[in-house]
Amino acid sequence: MDLSFSAEEEAFRGEVQAFLKEKLRPELSAKMKLGGAPSKAEMEEWHALLNERGWLANHWPKEYGGAGWTPVKKFIFELESELAFAPRIVPFGVSMLAPVLIKYGSDAQKKHWLPRILDGSDWWCQGYSEPGAGSDLASLKTSAVREGDHYIVNGQKAWTTMAQHADMIFCLVRTSKEGKRQEGISFLLIDMKTAGIDVKPVITIEGGHEVNEVFFTDVKVPIENLVGEENKGWTYAKYLLTYERTNIAGIGGSIALLGHLKQAARKRKKHGKPLLDEPYFAARVARVEIALENMKTTNLRVLADVAAGGAPGAESSLLKIKGTVIYQELTSLMRRAMGAYAAPYFPEAADEGFNGQVGPDEALHAAEDYFNHRKLSIFGGSNEIQRNIVSKMMLGL
């Protein structure tokens, strides 16, 4: 691929658009468009539709029930889905755990867990971070001690997204205190219903509940739930972190939000004229639009590189930094465009049938969206850590 898509890829794009048009419920995309978060039922509904079409695990090899898409096809699919305001595929099972199982899991593990990810039997969450181990993940302390045919797990995970919905958690645990810190870490699959697991909700600044603390007290985990070899978990975790990060910039989401913002700012009047015509505001919108167009080309360059056989290394850091900054600026502009209409506080606005809003529909989630998306530059390796990676890997500093 060059910086444009081939005829075949363009045809594929049409196929994706047709699918979205046919299958995506207008009410669901309308809700997503206004910045609402999908409920668990809505995520399950979307996963089921994708799975039916064979597109859920689109990047898995075909032999495991995947579609075997190239990164380019995957990119096109994600771009179009975001443009249509479809829910995102929940990454934990499909995109984070599965690639590790496929590469490092035993046959029995692959046979058991992969189909359950596809049909939605298991919802997964990611148990990496701990209160003391965030950016410095290798300092994690949650321990797993072998006793007969079980591990006994003790410790605490932090910031576990969707743990409240999850059936299973994949965890990094310490199995050895010898040698380098990275060399005593193992990758364990743990059933959330096991005795000794306690999930405590953590409310974020916008009032939502998406993250949790997960406590482990003498939790018994069968040894067959160890992935790969003991003390090699760091290698697997790192593999996961570099895997398929070519859409980390979330270009589609930003393009969609920009369109939405412009529409809203055209409707809102300032001194009788559309807000979008106001030079101060228009300049900010123009600046972010230029950055976004620019980002799209950069993203295509990275994809072209991958298509030619390169692996996305530190380039994914570049995509993450630029992509999250753009998205955050867009949520900020949306909030600004709504003015005080974005200030009302309605934690109940996510509920069905809520009708207490003030101001236009676009205002409803504008503030919540802005506050919640402060997380983009913190999680998945903070933007500071990404810059450290760029300095080291790309610049040799």
Partner 1 sequence: MEILIEDHQMLLNSATGYLAKKQSVAAFRALRDGDEPLGYDATAYRQMADLGWMGLVLPEEYGGSDFGYRAAGLIAEQMGRNLTAMPFVSTAILSATILREIGGDMLTEWGMKIAMGECVVALAIDEGAKHRPGQIKTQAVRDGDGYLLSGDKSFIADGMGADRLIVSAMLEGELTLFWLDPLEACFGTSCCDIAPQKLLDHRNYASFYIKNCRLNENTLIAKGEVAEKALAKALCAGRAVVAAEQLGMAKECAARTVEYLNTRKQFGVLIGVFQTLQHRMAHLYCEIEQTSSLVAQALNAIDENAEECEKLSRAAKAKVAKLGKLATEEAVQMHGGIGMTDELDLGLFMKRDRVLTEFLGDAACHIEWLLREQKI
Ligand X SMILES: Cc1cc2nc3c(=O)[nH]c(=O)nc-3n(C[C@H](O)[C@H](O)[C@H](O)COP(=O)(O)OP(=O)(O)OC[C@H]3O[C@@H](n4cnc5c(N)ncnc54)[C@H](O)[C@@H]3O)c2cc1C
218 sits near ligand X (criterion: CB under 6 A)? no
Regarding 379 and contact with ligand X (CB under 6 A), the answer is yes
* Residue 5 or 159 having the CB closest to partner 1: 159
- The answer to whether 338 contacts partner 1 (rule: CB under 8 A) is yes
The least CB distance from residue 132 to partner 1, in Å, is 8
User: What whole-number distance in Å separates Cα of residue 173 and Cα of residue 225?
Assistant: 12
Q: What is the rounded distance in angstroms from the CA atom of residue 115 to the CA atom of residue 386? A: 34
Interface with ligand X, residue 134, by CB under 6 A: yes
The CA distances from residue 270 to 264, 266, 284, 328, 329, in Å, are 12, 10, 16, 24, 21
Buried b (16+ CB within 10 A) or exposed e, 21-44: eeebeeebbebbbbbbbbeeebbb
Select the binding partner of residue 245 from ligand X, partner 1, none (C-beta < 5 to 8 A, by kind): none
Helix (H) or strand (E) run with residue 47 in it: helix 40-53
335 binds, among ligand X, partner 1, none (CB under 5 to 8 A by kind): partner 1
Closest distance of CB 207 from ligand X, Å: 13
Please identify which residue in 8, 52, 136, 293 interacts with partner 1, judged by CB under 8 A. 136
Q: Least Å distance between CB 210 and ligand X? A: 6
The two structure tokens encoding residue 191: 């059933």
Q: Which does 207 bind (CB under 5 to 8 A by kind): partner 1, ligand X, none?
A: partner 1
How many CB atoms lie under 10 A from the CB of residue 373? 18
Report which of 306, 157, 282 is spatially closest to residue 217, judged by C-alpha positions. 157
**Chosen residue from 238, 379, 392, 394 binding partner 1 by CB under 8 A:** 379
Give the residue, chosen from 112, 150, 270, 296, that forms a contact with partner 1 under the rule CB under 8 A. Answer: 270
Regarding 194 and contact with partner 1 (CB under 8 A), the answer is no
Give residue 137's region: left, alpha or beta (phi > 0; psi -120 to 50): alpha
Helix (H, G, I), strand (E, B) or coil at 152: strand
Query: How many residues at the interface with partner 1, by CB under 8 A?
Result: 46
> What letter represents residue 395's amino acid?
L
* Residue 13 · residue 74 · CB < 8 Å: no
Of 155 and 252, which CB lies nearer to partner 1 in the complex structure? 155
Among 36, 54, 120, 207, binds partner 1 (CB under 8 A): 207
**Structure token digits, residue 91:** 């990454």
CB 233 within 8 A of CB 185: yes
The 144-163 site mask, x for binding ligand X (CB under 6 A), equals ---------------xxx--
Residue tagged active-site, from 206, 210, 244, 362: 244
By beta-carbon proximity to partner 1, the closer residue of 60 and 281 is: 281
Q: Which of 193, 187, 191 is nearest to 221 (CA)?
A: 191
Rounded CA-CA distance 228/249 in Å is: 31
135 lies in the site for ligand X, by CB under 6 A? yes
C-alpha torsion angle, residues 161, 163, 167, 172 (rounded to 10): 70
Nearest distance from C-beta of residue 257 to partner 1, angstroms: 18
Among 109, 126, 186, 317, binds ligand X (CB under 6 A): 126
Answer yes or no: 244 catalytic.
Answer: yes
Closest separation between CB of residue 389 and partner 1, Å?
Answer: 13
**Six-digit token string for 192:** 């959330």
218 scored as a contact of partner 1 (CB under 8 A): no
Give the residue with the Cβ less far from partner 1, 145 or 393.
393
Which partner in partner 1, ligand X, none is near 154 (CB below 5 to 8 A by kind)?
none
What contacts 52, CB < 8 A, 6 or more positions away? none
Distances (CA, A) of 87 to 33, 50, 211, 385: 10, 11, 18, 28
For the packed helices 7-23 and 71-83, what is the interaxial angle rounded to 10 degrees?
40
Least distance to ligand X from the beta carbon of 159, Å? 3
- Residue 161 interaction partner, one of partner 1, ligand X, none, beta carbon < 5-8 Å per kind: ligand X
Q: Which residues of this chain interact with partner 1, rule CB under 8 A?
A: 129, 132, 134-136, 139, 158-159, 202-207, 211, 268, 270, 278, 280-281, 332, 335-336, 338-346, 358-359, 363, 367, 371, 374-375, 377-379, 382-384, 387
Active site residues: 244
Q: Which residues of this chain interact with ligand X, rule CB under 6 A?
A: 126-129, 134-135, 159-161, 211, 375, 378-379, 382, 384-385, 388
